């Protein structure tokens, strides 16, 4: 019962938090946006790295979910740019990738991502990671989720 109340309190604190989702696959973008809105988040979307950078600068979201493989500016390069920019460096970043090899996950962390989720990703897992990062005091250094590491180990 106490756990349920704590979980409800955490969700209440996150209502209205702004999440920017960046993915070049329209169906994934739509599904995650619809789900996150249903959970009470404000959601903006972009389909490429340049759009991610522009919207991050303009909108200052509370968190960004960023696909790694994007046309033009990759998710890796967008993350590096966001971390180097004073206005965006503290925004928590979640990498979303279809690759689960340890090298790819390590590269994501080196680029400045706080967390990595492997697609296809259960929407509840994504919300769990968003919640964890929104309530974490120091973006840029959290440990990977067990599910990301486990999937990487199983696949690579």
The domains of the chain are located at: 16-155
Residue 65: phi and psi, rounded to 5, are: -105, 120
**Rounded to an integer, what distance in angstroms lies between the CA atom of residue 66 and that of residue 16?**
20
Is CATH 3.40.50.2300 the right assignment for the domain spanning 16-155? yes
pLDDT averaged over consecutive 10-residue blocks of the chain (156 residues)?
42 75 95 95 97 97 97 96 97 92 89 93 93 73 42 38
The H-or-E segment that residue 151 falls in is: helix 146-155
Instruction: Look up tokens 């199983």; give the residue.
Output: 154
Residue 136 has a pLDDT of 74
Residue 47 has a pLDDT of 97
- Please indicate, yes or no, whether the overall pTM of this predicted structure exceeds 0.85: no
Residue 63: phi and psi, rounded to 5, are: -160, 150
């Amino acid at each position: 019962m106490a756990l349920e109340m704590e979980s409800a309190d955490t969700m209440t604190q996150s209502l209205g938090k702004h999440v920017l989702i960046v993915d070049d696959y329209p169906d994934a973008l739509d599904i995650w946006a619809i789900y996150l809105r249903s959970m009470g988040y404000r959601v903006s979307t972009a389909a490429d790295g340049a759009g991610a950078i522009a919207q991050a600068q303009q909108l200052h979201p509370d968190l960004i979910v960023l696909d790694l493989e994007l046309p033009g500016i990759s998710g890796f390069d967008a993350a590096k740019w966001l971390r180097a920019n004073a206005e965006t460096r503290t925004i928590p970043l979640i990498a979303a990738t279809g690759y689960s090899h340890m090298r790819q996950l390590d590269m994501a962390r080196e680029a400045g991502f706080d967390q990595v989720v492997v697609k296809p990703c259960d929407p509840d897992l994504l919300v769990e990671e968003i919640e964890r990062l929104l309530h974490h005091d120091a973006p840029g250094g959290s440990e990977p989720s067990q599910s990301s590491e486990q999937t990487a180990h199983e696949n690579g």
